[in-house]
């Protein structure tokens, strides 16, 4: 039995029965990583000896972590040169929770530098490949997490989602990606990209694993003022209930220009299927959708420009060696440490917050953000969930969009709104294009109602075979 190919809930069953032990799973994972990852480049920090040591002492499941989540005394670099060698002195809250439940930390996954991107090409460790087509990108920014799960180098992984960074790579790699409600999972220890949008979430092989992992990582945290003081239901108990009578909105704005025809066909068929399962699917309008990308790239870059200012060479990470004085040190360190996309976003965000421009850009963007949120509030008065494509296109070729940031930014056009509104979203596999590239279906829900979207996702998944397909590596 190839344990690396199983899901967490399957493995949990085997572990509980005593058929296998944690070291067996880890060995299987280690084998897969050593065999495939040289080509895939999904894992960036990995220590075989440590993993074996931990696995021997554990009765839990192995998990990979995106490289922007702090693990005490382990490399945590956001795949940026500027954090070269950085080992945080503390564990993120999600890591503490995983360790408490006896999970085995396997290593860190590749990502776009500071999560800035939709292709994992801006990593200082080089791009991750899409396991379905090694010439293509896996999506991003949690491309490493999505690819390692899709390639059975992992059972599951944590990612982070600021504008689609979990859902889009999940869609492009054919796995399940869940972005919880803003405030559901503590951000303490997640190296911030855009604080008002960032949320840690899961990349798993099926919906049941997403529910299982969500339960472990969520909950109020006194260390994060933005984490919500709401109880954590055990979603895995309810997701298997049927979806008869649920009302589902299909936003017309998500099916217009720019949507790949294969993707469109897959998604429309999936909606039909959901209808056959007993849910009522109706058209809905989210009129401010067209502003989402513009609003996002102002708010996200503004916050990022401030969040990334601390990487100045003073306390940790890279410090330029040839600097003469403090200002010179700042300039050289940041010039050498940040990649092009990070620099682009810092400049954009700095500009948007500058005096004289603040009102026209940042303040205006905040106002439109509330309108986008209101669109969803209005829709959720009538509907229990909203279903859309996750990404307008399947995985594109490596290098195809790196010279064209605007096209790259449009990769997130369907996922960004959920972050702006703070609502939960999940992407589930819903078919393949003619070129055999996975397509994802996005299900969005009310704040703190992960249960409903997971229930729809689970019912759909169980009625199809898409989640069982694995790339031929």
Partner 1 sequence: MTDYEIVIGLEVHLQLKTKSKVFCGCSTAFGAPPNTHVCPVCLGFPGSLPVLNRDALKLGAKTAIALNCRVEEEIKFDRKNYFYPDLPKAYQISQFSQPLSRHGYLQILFDGKEKRIGITRVHLEEDTGKLFHTQDASLIDFNRSGTPLLEIVSEPDMSSPEEAYLYLTALKSILEYIDVSDCNMEEGSLRCDANVSVRKKGVKELGVKTEIKNMNSFKAVKAALEYEAERQIETIGSGGKITQETRLFDSARGVTEPMRSKEESHDYRYFPEPDLTPFDFAKNILEDVKNEMPELPGPKRKRFMSNYGLSDYDAAVLVSDKAMADYFEKCASLYRNSKIIANWIMGDISAYMKEHGLTIDRLNLKSEYLTGMLDMIDKGVISGKIAKSLLIDSIQTGKDPILLVKEKGLEQITDAGQIDQAVDQVIKENQKIVGDFISGKQNAVMALVGKVMTKTKGKANPRKVIEMLKKRLKGEA
Which residues does the annotation mark as catalytic? 66, 141, 165
The alpha carbons of the chain give a radius of gyration, in whole angstroms, of: 21
Residues 455, 87: Cα–Cα separation, whole Å? 39
Q: Of 83 and 213, which CB lies nearer to partner 1 in the complex structure?
A: 83
CA atoms 116, 117, 122, 127: torsion sign: positive
- Name the minimum Å distance from CB 370 to partner 1: 13
By CB under 8 A, is residue 69 in contact with partner 1? yes
By CB under 8 A, is residue 83 in contact with partner 1? yes
By CB under 8 A, is residue 231 in contact with partner 1? no
- Name the minimum Å distance from CB 401 to partner 1: 28
By CB under 8 A, is residue 335 in contact with partner 1? no
144 phi, psi to nearest 5 deg: -65, -45
By CB under 8 A, is residue 330 in contact with partner 1? yes
**Cβ atoms of residues 4 and 28 within 8 Å:** yes
Q: Of 97 and 205, which CB lies nearer to partner 1 in the complex structure?
A: 97
By CB under 8 A, is residue 347 in contact with partner 1? no
> Residue 91 — left, alpha, or beta (φ > 0 → left; ψ -120 to 50 → alpha)?
beta
43 phi, psi to nearest 5 deg: -110, 130
By CB under 8 A, is residue 67 in contact with partner 1? no
Binding residues among 358-417 for partner 1 as defined by CB under 8 A: 358, 362
**Cβ atoms of residues 398 and 121 within 8 Å:** yes
**Cβ atoms of residues 393 and 410 within 8 Å:** no
By CB under 8 A, is residue 194 in contact with partner 1? yes
List the one residue out of 211, 87, 136 whose CA is nearest residue 471: 136
Q: Of 325 and 406, which CB lies nearer to partner 1 in the complex structure?
A: 325
Binding residues among 171-190 for partner 1 as defined by CB under 8 A: 187-190
By CB under 8 A, is residue 354 in contact with partner 1? yes
By CB under 8 A, is residue 89 in contact with partner 1? yes
Q: Output the DSSP codes for 219-251.
A: S--TT-TTS-------HHHHTTS--TT-EEEEE
Contact with partner 1 (CB under 8 A): which of 21, 27, 84, 226? 226
Q: Which residues contact partner 1 by CB under 8 A?
A: 69-70, 76, 78, 83, 86, 88-90, 92, 187-192, 194-196, 222-226, 302-303, 305-306, 309-312, 314-316, 326-327, 330, 350, 353-355, 358, 362
């Amino acid at each position: 039995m190839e344990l690396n190919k199983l899901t967490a809930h399957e493995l949990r069953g085997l572990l509980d029965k005593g058929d296998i032990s944690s070291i067996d799973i880890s060995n299987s994972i280690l084998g897969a990583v050593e065999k495939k990852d040289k080509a895939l480049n999904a894992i960036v920090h990995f220590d075989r000896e440590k993993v074996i040591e931990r696995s021997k002492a554990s009765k839990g499941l192995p998990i990979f972590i995106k490289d922007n989540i702090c693990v005490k005394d382990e490399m945590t670099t956001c795949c940026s040169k500027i954090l070269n060698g950085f080992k945080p002195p503390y564990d993120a809250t999600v890591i503490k929770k995983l360790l408490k439940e006896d999970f085995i930390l396997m290593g860190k996954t590749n990502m776009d530098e500071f999560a800035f991107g939709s292709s994992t090409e801006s990593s200082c460790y080089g791009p991750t490949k899409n396991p379905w087509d090694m010439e293509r990108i896996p999506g991003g920014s949690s491309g490493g997490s999505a690819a390692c799960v899709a390639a059975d180098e992992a059972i599951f992984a944590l990612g982070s989602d600021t504008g689609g960074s979990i859902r889009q790579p999940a869609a492009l790699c054919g796995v399940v990606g869940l972005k919880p409600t803003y405030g559901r999972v503590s951000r303490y220890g997640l190296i911030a990209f855009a604080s008002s949008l960032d949320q840690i979430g899961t990349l798993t092989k099926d919906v049941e694993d997403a529910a299982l992992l969500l339960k472990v990582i969520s909950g109020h945290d006194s260390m994060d003022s933005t984490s919500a003081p709401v109880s954590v239901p055990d979603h895995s108990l309810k997701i298997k209930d049927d979806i008869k009578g649920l009302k589902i909105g299909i936003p017309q704005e998500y099916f217009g220009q720019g949507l790949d025809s294969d993707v469109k066909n897959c998604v429309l068929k999936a909606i039909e299927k959901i209808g056959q399962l007993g849910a009522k699917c109706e058209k809905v309008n989210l009129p401010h959708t067209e502003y989402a990308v513009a609003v996002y790239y102002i708010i996200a870059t503004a916050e990022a420009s401030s969040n990334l200012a601390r990487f100045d060479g003073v306390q940790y990470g890279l410090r330029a060696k040839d600097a003469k004085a403090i200002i010179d040190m700042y300039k050289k360190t940041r010039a050498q440490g940040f990649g092009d996309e990070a620099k682009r976003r810092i400049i954009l965000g700095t500009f948007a917050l500058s005096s004289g421009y603040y009102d026209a850009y940042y303040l205006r963007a905040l106002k439109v953000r509330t309108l986008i949120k209101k669109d969803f509030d209005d829709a959720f008065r009538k509907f229990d969930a909203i279903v859309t494509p996750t990404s307008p296109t399947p995985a594109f070729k490596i290098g195809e969009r790196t010279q064209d940031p605007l096209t790259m930014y449009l990769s997130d056009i369907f996922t960004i709104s959920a972050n702006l509104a703070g609502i939960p979203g999940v992407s589930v596999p819903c078919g393949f294009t003619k070129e055999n590239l996975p397509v994802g279906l996005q299900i969005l829900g009310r704040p703190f109602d992960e249960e409903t979207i997971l229930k729809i996702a689970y019912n759909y998944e169980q009625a199809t075979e898409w989640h069982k397909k694995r790339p031929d590596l």
